[in-house]
């Protein structure tokens, strides 16, 4: 332990009770935190990252216990502290920014009150000027007004900043950040990470940042500790680990991370393919909603083509998907589907009123695999249902058809008898795909199907989808909020914001010559493994005001851009 070492974790083993047996969450974890340096803790979900991070505050979940090892902060064994010094340590010496600021702020208390009590608890001055100073420190706009707001009146990024302000309020020596950006969009993420770096330098803290995203760690951490199933896989300087990984697992992680830069963009243009779906000027409004959820949506999907729709949360992506599936009413516009025999079908009506063939031709795969499958029915049941409804198999052929579909998505026939709870997230997503395929659709709508998955699983599912598209000649509408994810699967990308398309172009064109400022800031904000520089974006200054009447202008090559803030003139 050197003089600048502020905390040390030695041979830490943590386990918890599950019925009659003990389950190990962390095993033999070793690391040190040094003043002014950042340690990144990466690993897939459930690998024990949060558990380890929180031991620095002497905190364990109910039912867990430390089996071996020590956690020392400034020479004190945190698990041996009496309650008063432990309270001093918590929030005083070691401060935590919890995983999801939206959940970590008390909903019934004003922002100011929550900040103030932290200061009070540690005997620090807590006047309004100090609060304003803190909010200013995390660069929140008009801090004076913010003090009197409730957490829900702030955006996700703002909430995260408040959480950080609260953590640094007491000038802690150690700052623990548990996935500080997971719930944020890329632009906000970049801003928050920049802020963390800046504060670390200014306040001279030791920082532990937990993330499942190698990109994040790569951007801010000096050292990285890769965890898997509660064990250390690799530990070393970030540069070294990411560029010369010693372990296969680390290599896999790095390979699976979606990237915006440096990977090949697939180009498989087949201009002669027939149009499968065409939407023109579609407006969608939810019942009694004052505002259109989607306005003037235009898209054309060719046979065998994948079109991605990208945009931040609430931009109307899912709404487009529901409308095409007949689950949301289109207020105005045209939408049509051409079946393989060339017949044209309207895609405007509700699902219940569509002909069976249209319903069959358009199939949805859902974002949240947990909710996409009925937990009370077997996998076999779930896949057999569309077979039956659309008359794709007789009762006798059913088991065989189900087996075939399961095999096709890379699961064995033995899965037919299981229930969703017995499957992992990736497996469930495959079942969702199999269920959609059972209908033998023409158009597959995939709504954020990989959001809930770990990067490695995410990559597998994407590969499967691409394979099926190629084999079956499926058209695909792929919805995501992450540009990096769509880069490898989409032929064309539509970027949406506030219910409107801001830019739409073939994938290569969009990545290489983004025209719209929003698209550009999206691209700039992406962090990816290997890039140790933080993107220089600031969420609060990118609030591009969109002109509601600006036209969508075709700039050639199928590249269309909304004429906002002179998007077309400044290059």
Partner 1 sequence: MARLIGTRLATSVITLFLAAFFVFFAVQALPGDVAQQLLGQNATEEAVATMREQLGLDANVWVRFAEWLGGAVTGDFGTSLVSGESVSGTLWTAFSHTLLIAVPAIVVGIGLSLVLGVWAGSRRGTSTDSGISLIALVAMSIPEFVVATVLILLFAIIAPIFPAVVLGGPDASLSELLPAIVLPAITLVIAMAAYIIRAMRSSTIDGLATEYATTAELKGLTRRRVLWRHVAPSAILPVLPVISINVAWLLGGVVVVESVFNYPGLGKLMIDSVSTRDLPILQAIAVLSALVYVTVNLIADLLALAADPRQRTLHSSRRRSRPAKEASA
Partner 2 sequence: MIRLRDLTVGTRIGLSLVGLTILIAILAPWLAPYDPIATNADNALAGSSWSHWLGTDQYGRDVLSRTIEGGRFALLVSLLATTVAVVVGTLIGAIAAYYGRWVDAATTRVLDAVLAVPAVLALLLIVSVFGNSLWVLVLAISVVYVPAVARVVRGATRPVLSTGYVTAARARGERSLPIIRREVLPNILDTILVEFAMRASWVVLLVSTLSFLGFGVNPPTPDWGLMIQENRTALTVAPAGTLAPIVTLSLLVVGLNLAADGLGKYLGVDRARRGVI
Ligand X SMILES: Nc1ncnc2c1ncn2[C@@H]1O[C@H](COP(=O)(O)OP(=O)(O)OP(=O)(O)O)[C@@H](O)[C@H]1O
* Binding stretches for partner 2 (CB under 8 A): 287, 322, 325-327, 351-352, 354, 356, 359, 362-364, 366-368, 371-378, 382, 385-386, 389-390, 418-422, 432, 435, 439
Q: Are 92 and 128 in contact (CB under 8 A)?
A: no
By the rule CB under 6 A, 286 interacts with ligand X:
yes
DSSP string of 310-371, one letter each residue: EE-TTSSHHHHHHHHHTSS-EEEEEEEEE-TTS-EEE--S-GGGS-HHHHHHEEEE-S-HHH
What is the closest distance, in whole angstroms, from the C-beta atom of residue 328 to ligand X in the complex? 8
Give the residue, chosen from 5, 24, 70, 100, that forms a contact with partner 1 under the rule CB under 8 A: 100
Helices (H), 452-563: 455-472, 483-487, 507-512, 517-525
Site string for partner 1, 26-65 (x = CB under 8 A): ----------------------------x--x-x------
531 binds, among partner 2, partner 1, Mg ion, none (CB under 5 to 8 A by kind): none
Q: Which of residues 58-97 bind partner 1 (CB under 8 A)?
A: 59, 87-92, 95-96
286 binds, among partner 2, ligand X, Mg ion, none (CB under 5 to 8 A by kind): ligand X
Between 42 and 436, CB nearer to partner 2? 436
By the rule CB under 5 A, 181 interacts with Mg ion:
no
45 binds, among ligand X, partner 2, partner 1, none (CB under 5 to 8 A by kind): ligand X
104 binds, among partner 1, Mg ion, ligand X, none (CB under 5 to 8 A by kind): partner 1
Radius of gyration of the chain from its Cα atoms, rounded to whole angstroms: 26
504 binds, among Mg ion, ligand X, partner 1, none (CB under 5 to 8 A by kind): none
DSSP designation for 212: S
What's 282-307 look like in SS3?
EEECCCCCCCCCEEEEEEEEECCCEE
CA distance 482 to 215: 13
What is the closest distance, in whole angstroms, from the C-beta atom of residue 331 to Mg ion in the complex? 19
Q: Which of residues 137-176 bind partner 1 (CB under 8 A)?
A: 150, 152-153, 163, 166
The pair of three-digit structure tokens given for residue 549, joined into one six-digit string: 């009447």
What is the closest distance, in whole angstroms, from the C-beta atom of residue 423 to partner 2 in the complex? 9
135 three-state secondary structure:
helix
By the rule CB under 8 A, 422 interacts with partner 1:
no
Site string for ligand X, 16-35 (x = CB under 6 A): x--------x----------
The angle at the Cα of 518, spanning 517 to 520, to the nearest 5 degrees, equals 65
Q: Are 522 and 511 in contact (CB under 8 A)?
A: no
- CA-based nearest residue to 446, from 306, 265, 327, 352: 306
571 three-state secondary structure:
coil
What is the closest distance, in whole angstroms, from the C-beta atom of residue 177 to partner 1 in the complex? 13
Sheet with strand 206-211: strands edge to edge: 94-97, 174-178, 206-211, 38-42, 223-228, 231-237
Q: Are 236 and 224 in contact (CB under 8 A)?
A: yes
CA distance 495 to 514: 11
The angle at the Cα of 193, spanning 25 to 516, to the nearest 5 degrees, equals 125
Between 140 and 325, CB nearer to partner 2? 325
- 391 CB neighbour count, 10 Å cutoff: 10
Q: How many residues touch Mg ion (CB under 5 A)? A: 2
Site string for ligand X, 309-338 (x = CB under 6 A): --x-xxxxxxx-------------------
498 three-state secondary structure:
coil
Q: Which of residues 290-329 bind Mg ion (CB under 5 A)?
A: 318
422 binds, among partner 2, partner 1, Mg ion, none (CB under 5 to 8 A by kind): partner 2
318 binds, among Mg ion, partner 2, partner 1, none (CB under 5 to 8 A by kind): Mg ion
By the rule CB under 5 A, 47 interacts with Mg ion:
no
The pair of three-digit structure tokens given for residue 281, joined into one six-digit string: 């000027």
Give the residue, chosen from 50, 181, 218, 250, that forms a contact with ligand X under the rule CB under 6 A: 50
Give the residue, chosen from 98, 135, 358, 523, that forms a contact with partner 1 under the rule CB under 8 A: 98
Between 44 and 491, CB nearer to Mg ion? 44
Buried b (16+ CB within 10 A) or exposed e, 460-490: bbbebbbebbeeeebbbbbbbbbbbbbbbbb
CA distance 13 to 90: 21
Strands 552-554 and 344-346 turn out to be unpaired
Between 23 and 263, CB nearer to partner 2? 23
Q: Which residues contact 546 (CB under 8 A, 6 or more apart)?
A: 497, 498, 500, 502, 562, 564
What is the closest distance, in whole angstroms, from the C-beta atom of residue 567 to ligand X in the complex? 21
What is the closest distance, in whole angstroms, from the C-beta atom of residue 249 to Mg ion in the complex? 18
Query: Which residues here bind ligand X, judged by CB under 6 A?
Result: 16, 25, 43, 45-51, 61-64, 212, 286, 289, 293, 311, 313-319, 481
Query: Which residues here bind partner 1, judged by CB under 8 A?
Result: 54, 57, 59, 87-92, 95-96, 98-100, 103-109, 117-118, 121-122, 150, 152-153, 163, 166
């Amino acid at each position: 332990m050197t003089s600048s070492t502020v905390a040390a974790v030695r041979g830490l083993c943590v386990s918890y009770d599950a019925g009659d047996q003990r389950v190990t969450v962390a095993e033999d974890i070793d690391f040190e935190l040094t003043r002014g340096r950042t340690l990144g803790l990466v690993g897939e979900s459930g690998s024990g990252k949060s558990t380890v991070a929180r031991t620095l505050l002497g905190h364990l979940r109910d039912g867990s216990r430390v089996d071996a090892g020590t956690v020392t902060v400034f020479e004190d064994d945190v698990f041996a502290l009496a309650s008063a010094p432990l309270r001093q340590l918590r929030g005083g010496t070691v401060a935590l920014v919890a995983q999801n600021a939206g959940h970590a702020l008390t909903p019934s208390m004003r922002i100011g009150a929550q900040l103030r009590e932290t200061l009070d608890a540690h005997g620090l001055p807590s006047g309004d000027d100090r609060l304003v100073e803190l909010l200013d420190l995390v660069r929140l706009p008009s801090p004076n007004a913010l003090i009197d707001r409730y957490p829900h009146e702030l955006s996700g990024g703002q909430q995260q900043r408040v959480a950080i302000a609260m953590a640094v309020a007491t000038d802690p020596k150690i700052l623990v950040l548990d996935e500080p950006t997971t719930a944020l969009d890329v632009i906000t993420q970049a801003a928050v990470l920049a802020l963390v770096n800046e504060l670390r330098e200014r306040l001279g803290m030791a920082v532990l940042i937990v993330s499942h995203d190698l990109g994040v760690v790569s951007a801010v951490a000096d050292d990285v500790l890769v965890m898997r199933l509660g064990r250390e896989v690799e530990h070393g300087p970030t540069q070294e680990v990411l560029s010369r990984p010693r372990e296969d697992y680390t290599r896999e992680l790095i390979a699976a991370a979606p990237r915006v830069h440096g990977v090949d963009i697939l180009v498989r243009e087949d201009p002669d393919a027939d149009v499968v779906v065409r939407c023109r000027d579609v407006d969608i409004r939810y019942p009694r909603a004052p505002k259109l959820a989607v306005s003037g949506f235009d898209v054309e999907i060719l046979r065998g083509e994948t079109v991605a729709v990208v945009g931040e949360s609430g931009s109307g992506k899912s709404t487009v998907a529901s409308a095409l599936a007949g689950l949301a009413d289109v207020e105005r516009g045209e939408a049509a589907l051409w079946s393989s025999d060339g017949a044209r079908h309207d895609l405007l009506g509700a699902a219940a009123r569509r002909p069976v063939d249209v319903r069959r031709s358009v199939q949805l795969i859902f974002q949240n695999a947990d909710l996409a499958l009925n937990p009370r029915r077997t996998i076999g049941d779930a896949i057999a249902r569309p077979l039956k409804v659309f008359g794709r198999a007789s009762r006798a052929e059913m088991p065989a058809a189900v087996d075939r579909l399961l095999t096709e998505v890379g699961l064995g026939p033995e899965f037919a008898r299981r229930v969703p709870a017995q499957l992992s997230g990736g497996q469930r997503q495959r079942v969702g795909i199999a269920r959609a395929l059972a209908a033998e659709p023409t158009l597959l709508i995939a709504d954020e199907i990989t959001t809930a998955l770990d990067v490695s699983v995410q990559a597998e599912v994407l590969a499967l989808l691409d394979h099926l598209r190629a084999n079956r000649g499926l058209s695909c509408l792929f919805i995501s909020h992450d540009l990096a994810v769509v880069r490898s699967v989409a032929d064309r990308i539509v970027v949406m914001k506030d219910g409107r398309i801001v830019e739409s172009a073939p994938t290569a064109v969009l990545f290489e010559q983004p025209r719209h400022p929003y698209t550009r800031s999206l691209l700039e904000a992406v962090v990816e493994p290997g890039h140790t520089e933080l993107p220089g974006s600031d969420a609060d200054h990118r609030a591009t005001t969109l002109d509601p009447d600006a036209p969508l202008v075709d700039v050639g090559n199928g590249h269309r851009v909304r004429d906002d803030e002179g998007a077309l003139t400044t290059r």
